[in-house]
Chains A and B, each alone.
Chain A
Amino acid sequence: MSNFFKFTLLLVILIITFVVAMLSGISDISVVEMFKSLFFSSDENTYTIIKQIRLPRVILAIVAGAGLACSGCVFQGILRNPLADPFTLGISGGAAFGVSIGFTFGITKLSWFFLPLFGFCGALLSVGFVYLLNLKKEFDSNSMILSGVIASYIFSSAVMLVFSISSHDQLYSAFMWLMGSLAFFDERLLHIIAVFVIIGVILLCFLGNVINIISLGSEKSSSLGINTAKTVKYIFMLSSLITACIVSCCGVIGFVGLMIPHITRKFVGNNNKILMPFSSIIGSIFLLICDTISRTLIAPVEIPIGVITSIIGGLFFVFLLLKKTGKISI
């Protein structure tokens, strides 16, 4: 199967998933009604459900899935480590810290804007910390990973500290956020986030071959004419910003950034130029399915999406490993 055909197939699957996700929910809406309210006017009730409740959330799932999966490829490729994911540099810890402070000191109640803002600032704080630690050195993936681990530890313990002085209510909402959920999201941010993440993902996909070269090691990449340290810094900056944006809106959604790239590798190989666009689209489909399940399975109660992603993704990956070789091997 050619890659072009595979990609088209995935696009079709994405569209089908989109339609199914738009139709699922407590109130029954027919396909015709849905398209009517999407493109033309319809009665107010359906319009509200489709355009103001479901559509923003579905778009966010698509955008976040693509962003996380694409950044996952970037981090794995550049850090040359199959266990790397978008949170390796401590972004999740930083964001969690920002958000838990926001919840505990009641700042998030002041305005809708403060929750994502605190998440974003926390994420930038941890990324900045890792960059500062590596500022003077030549690029070295192990030292980057280690600083990321250090940042995670410091921020996680800071989160614990903040939690220990929080009330039950605050703890509960902060905890739900930590598990990752698209429910906290305010659609007023959707335009900015969607445009930024989509442009970022497209840019990163164009840099696929550069990431290939960097994954050969700094000696080879430098002798092929790349200023490795500088390029790595820019690429990290871009993918960290994408991740920070997503985390600040949907919390820490694990698994997508780690496993979607690996699942995609099984289909299209390790060439980042091909891997990254495929990963992005598979990430979108995956997160959209997971989010739809999370809000419909035991509605009106929502299951945190992080739980769903891990269960489905993990099982799927086990299936993939077993099917390919008959026994488990990575």
Chain B
Amino acid sequence: MIKIDNITLSYGKKIVLKDLSLVLKERTFIGIIGKNGTGKSTLLKSIVGLLKPIKGKIFVYNEDIYKTSKNMLAKNISFMPQTMQFDFSFNVKEFIMFGRFPYMNMFKVASKEDVKIVEDVMNFTQTTEFANRNINELSGGEKQKVLLAQTLVQQTDIICLDEPTSHLDICSQSTIFKLLKMLNEKYNKTIITTIHDLNLAGEFCSDIVLLDNKKIFSYGLTKEVLNYKDIEKVYNITVVVYTNPVSKKPVVIPVYN
């Protein structure tokens, strides 16, 4: 369980989120949505311990994350950044192995267990076929799968992702989100992701946090949060929300006129 207690987040003097409190339940699939620049990624980064609030506290399993050791935190929460740049390309398998870093001994050598876990995760994410290729040679979709695999070998209960599918085609998007859904339902992981695509959020997330104007606009079950009135208010655009005939999940369509 993650408890966010009255936090204020800022970059320098610019306050991004103010006096925000939130309780995120275990084993949920949470999507953080909102307009550009409303602090989706900022909130996510503070949850994984990358951005210390100037006020307030964040508790994970009743422990203040800014007081626990970084290594302990890395065994509880993993984080997949939006972009990663590689000036020197790594081989896919060794790249995924980097995710085992928090578990490695003093000399940071991989154990047999580490190798086994990496192989399992590679099977799960279907990345085994390009195990020996260079990460810079992969396509966008393949690369995201590899990044996800690296995050998964960290074996944390809470997995945070920053826009995992922002520039992928619909096929790769669904591959990534189906994996996340399976992790959530079958392996009881808590998934927290920022996301721009409201339809993906509607399809896959169980709960949604809608941010607006430095605050939480609404937080609750997906079908409750994704109603046309709130969306229109926050995004300043006319929308139609209806139900996907196959999955019975909400679909948001903007109306341009």
Interface positions of A (Cβ within 8 A of B): 76-77, 80-82, 206, 208-210, 212-213, 215-217, 219-220, 222-227, 265, 269-271, 273
Contacts and interface: CB of A to CB of B under 8 A. Distances in A.
Contact of A223 (B74, B89, B94, B109): B74
B107 A206 contact: yes
Given A224-B98, A225-B73, A271-B91, A219 B104 contact: no
Nearest to B73: A225
A223 B74 CA distance: 6
Interface of B: 45, 48-50, 69-75, 77-79, 81, 84-85, 87-91, 94, 98-99, 101-102, 104, 107-109, 154
B71 A225 contact: yes
Contacts of B154: 224
Contacts of B74: 223-225
Contacts of B79: 219-220, 223
Given A209-B98, A225-B74, 5 more contacts: A76-B88, A77-B88, A82-B87, A225-B70, A270-B88
B49 A222 contact: yes
Contacts of B107: 206
B146 to A, nearest CB: 12
Nearest to A212: B98
Most chain B beta-carbon neighbours within 10 Å: one of A208, A223, A226, A227: A223
B101 A223 contact: no
A219 B88 contact: no
Given A219-B45, A220-B81, A227 B70 contact: yes
A217 B81 contact: yes
Contact of B78 (A215, A223, A270, A273): A223
A209 B108 contact: yes
B81 A219 contact: yes
26 contacts: A77-B88, A80-B85, A80-B88, A209-B101, A212-B98, A216-B98, A217-B81, A217-B85, A219-B45, A219-B81, A222-B49, A222-B50, A223-B50, A224-B98, A224-B154, A225-B70, A225-B72, A225-B73, A225-B75, A225-B102, A226-B101, A265-B88, A270-B88, A270-B89, A271-B91, A273-B108
Most chain A beta-carbon neighbours within 10 Å: one of B69, B90, B109: B90
A329 to B, nearest CB: 13
B40 to A, nearest CB: 15
Contacts of A213: 98, 101
Contacts of B104: 209
Contacts of B48: 223
B190 to A, nearest CB: 15
Nearest to A208: B108
A119 B69 CA distance: 40
Contacts, number: 73
Contacts of B89: 270
Given A225-B102, A271-B94, A220 B85 contact: no
Nearest to A77: B88
Question: Which 9 pairs of residues, A with B, have the shortest CB-CB distance?
Answer: A225-B74, A209-B108, A223-B79, A270-B88, A225-B71, A225-B102, A219-B81, A225-B70, A224-B101
A217 to B, nearest CB: 6
A80 B90 CA distance: 13
Nearest to B77: A223
Nearest to B94: A271
Contacts of B70: 222, 225-227
Contacts of B90: 212, 269-271
A248 to B, nearest CB: 30
Contacts of B69: 225
A81 B87 contact: yes
A76 B87 CA distance: 9
Contacts of A215: 87-88
A77 B109 CA distance: 19
Contacts of A82: 87-88
A12 to B, nearest CB: 25
A220 B84 contact: yes
Nearest to B69: A225
Contacts of A224: 74, 98-99, 101-102, 154
Nearest to B99: A224
Nearest to A224: B101
A292 B132 CA distance: 40
Contacts of A265: 88
A227 B90 CA distance: 22
A220 B71 CA distance: 13
B112 to A, nearest CB: 17
Contact of B101 (A81, A206, A225): A225
Contacts of A226: 70, 101
A149 B77 CA distance: 38
A63 B152 CA distance: 41
Contacts of B91: 269, 271
A77 B88 CA distance: 8
A210 B50 contact: no
Most chain A beta-carbon neighbours within 10 Å: one of B75, B77, B102: B102
Contacts of B45: 219
A301 to B, nearest CB: 40
